[in-house]
Amino acid sequence: MSEASAKQRRRVVIYPGLDKCPVCGADLRIEAAGSPRQTACVQCPYLEAPGSAHLLSLVARSIRSQLADAGPEEITYRDEPTDAHHVACPNGLLPIVSEYVNAQLGALGLLEPGEGICTIEDTNGLLQKRSVLGSAQAVQYAPLLVVMHLAAIDQAMTVSALLSPGRKRLRVETLYTPAGAPSSDALSTLNRRDLAPLVAQAAKQMAEPAQ
């Protein structure tokens, strides 16, 4: 990666909350993907994979754009009103989506636990959690990870519509189980059916040489 491209990647605007340490709340020294250094807290020993904040910012903005286009009339979590920002926010409700995506990737045999976007404890998180990149190597799976998160939101809206006929609603809890896995065989079948073409599309995109 050239010095110019490295500087360009560092200029990416980080999504709110990702520039703060999940342990002590101090500033993080953000490192872009490909950096030999890890993202590090300026105050405590916390370390994070380089490129994590950039990829999670991309996921968050993609979800917000998706929800803006989909236009759900109502977004709720456990029947409490919420909004697109909190659904997309890596230390908001996004950990629910990330845990669900990890379960799907594991079931499909594509990634091992912790290889993609995983969740860690965050003292300032809405759920006391934060979505982060599991390893620096996981950046290569960026297209797949973004597509899988968007697919999960699509599925949540589909299931929400089945649960609330006639209402264009997103119920985030339809993705949630304590183990981060589908809560029923029927839901699992729906997810596998909907995800298969998206996974294939993402894999093809990853295999194509960069333009």
pLDDT reported for residue 166: 76
Please state the rounded mean pLDDT for residues 55-73. 89
Please report whether residue 189 resides in a domain.
yes
Please report whether residue 161 resides in a domain.
yes
Query: Three-state DSSP class for 163?
Result: helix
Q: What is the DSSP code (8-state) at residue 41?
A: E
Please report whether residue 191 resides in a domain.
yes
Please report whether residue 36 resides in a domain.
no
Please report whether residue 38 resides in a domain.
no
By the 8 A CB rule, do 153 and 170 touch? yes
Please report whether residue 7 resides in a domain.
no
**Measuring CA to CA, which residue among 75, 123, 90, 105 is closest to residue 18?**
90
Please report whether residue 115 resides in a domain.
yes
Q: What is the pLDDT of residues 125-167, one digit of tens each?
A: 888 999 999 888 888 888 888 988 998 888 888 878 877 777 7
Domain count within the chain: 1
Note down the domain range covering 146.
51-207
Please report whether residue 46 resides in a domain.
no
Rounded Cα gap, residues 63 and 34, in angstroms = 25
Q: What is the pLDDT of residues 102-135, one digit of tens each?
A: 888 877 777 777 778 888 999 888 889 999 998 8
Give the global pTM. Answer: 0.75
pLDDT reported for residue 197: 52
Q: Does 210 have pLDDT greater than 60?
A: no
